[in-house]
Each structure stands twice: as structure tokens, then as C-alpha cells.
Amino acid sequence: MELTMIETIAPNMHSCDEDLPLVRAVKDGNTSAFEELVRRYGRKLFRIAWNVVHNTEDAEDAVQIAFLKAYQNLHQFQENAKFSTWLIRIALNECFMAIRKRRSIREDSLDSDFSIEADGSDRAPRNPIPVDVTDWTSSPESLYGATELREILTNCLHKLSSAMRVVFVLRDVEGYSTSETSEILNLTANAVKSRLSRARLQLREDLSQYFSVRSLAARTGNK
């Protein structure tokens, strides 16, 4: 089974990769070492996959297939990138395959060519909620519970194109740096910044519109 699409990251030795001892042990036939890698990254991969596909079954399938492909093709991993980068990339490829299958339309591929636009912000908050969300309504806490707010944010995130969504998830939800995100997605730093900037702008617009409608409805209902 070939993974040429996945293994396209430019050579960059990661001598400090803490996963390498386990990876090398698996290559030597130690299956318990791979079980440790699954425990180490299972929850993270599922969290990333769910935020991309927004479907529990598809996310679970993507993670399971990713681990299976990683195990079957570990001999192809040349240690030019961190193991976690390689593994996340496999999982994301599975996520986009699930999206294409579910929607029956062509979705953006991780390996598609994109034009580089103006840079976005080089630094991102580690919280999934934009920092100025509370400025869009006088008192969001009084209107929405935490569960409803998460649902609103999830719905708005799902409206993003897959290309923007995955960058937002890696940068603002998972807290990866621009360089780490660039390596995971095999994109330039400028492309990552551009997509992140566009994703944040669209989310702000969608959330602002939602809060404005709800605030107006609340005021109208009180009359």
C-alpha cells in the first residue's frame, strides 16, 4: 500500500522526536510499542478528526484507518518529519475522503495547489473561540448556555471550506504553531496565515450575524 501523497513533506530531521524510540521498536517487531503510540495519540486524533468532519462515526473511522495505515506502512516513514506530523496527515487525508464521500461533491484536498494571498496574523489564540466574541453582544452569557454556544460555534465552523477549517482547527483549536501547521499540511507559512485569517474573518461574520439576530429577537420579544 503506497502513501506517496502523504509522505511528501520536505526533509527536516527531527532528532528530538520523542516518538522515535517507539517507532523504531515497532519496526523491529514490537507490537506493544505501537499500542503505546495509539494510547498517546488516539484522543488527539479523534478530536482533530471530529472538528474537521463533525460526525462521530466518520471521525472514529478516520482514526482507526489512520492507525491501521500507519502500522502497515511504518517502513515508509523515513524520519524526515515528526511521527505525529506523519500520523496526523494520514488521519486528515481520511477525513477529507469521508467528507467527499458523504457530500458526494469534490472537496479541497490537502495536496491541491492554492494561491498564496495576503498574510494573516502570525499568532493565534489557543482557545477555539475568537477573543472578541463577547464584544458582539452586550451579554452573551445571559442569552446562551455553554452547551448552546459550543453548538453555535460548531455550526459556524462547519460552514468553512475544508481548506480553511483544517487550518483553523490545527492553529486555534489544537494550538499548533504556524510552522507546525505548515509541516502537517505541507503548505507554505503564508498559505497557512492566509487561510487562518480568512477563517477567523468568516467565523466572526457568522457569529456576529447570529448574535445580532438573537439579540434583536430577544428585544422584540420583551416588548
DSSP string over 118-167: S---S---SSSS-TTGGGGSS-HHHH--HHHHHHHHHHHHHTS-HHHHHH
Q: Considering the chain, what percentage of its residues have pLDDT values greater than 70?
A: 67
What is residue 221's predicted lDDT score, i.e. its pLDDT?
Answer: 63
SS3 71: helix
Asked if 203 contacts 130 with a C-beta cutoff of 8 angstroms, the reply is yes
The arithmetic mean of pLDDT across residues 17-43, rounded, is 95
Q: What is the pTM of this model?
A: 0.70
What is residue 116's predicted lDDT score, i.e. its pLDDT?
Answer: 33
Q: What end-to-end distance do the CA atoms of the chain give, in Å? A: 66
The pLDDT confidence band at residue 118, using thresholds 50, 70 and 90, is very low
Q: For residue 128, is pLDDT > 50?
A: no
- The mean predicted confidence, pLDDT, of the chain is 76
The pLDDT confidence band at residue 1, using thresholds 50, 70 and 90, is very low
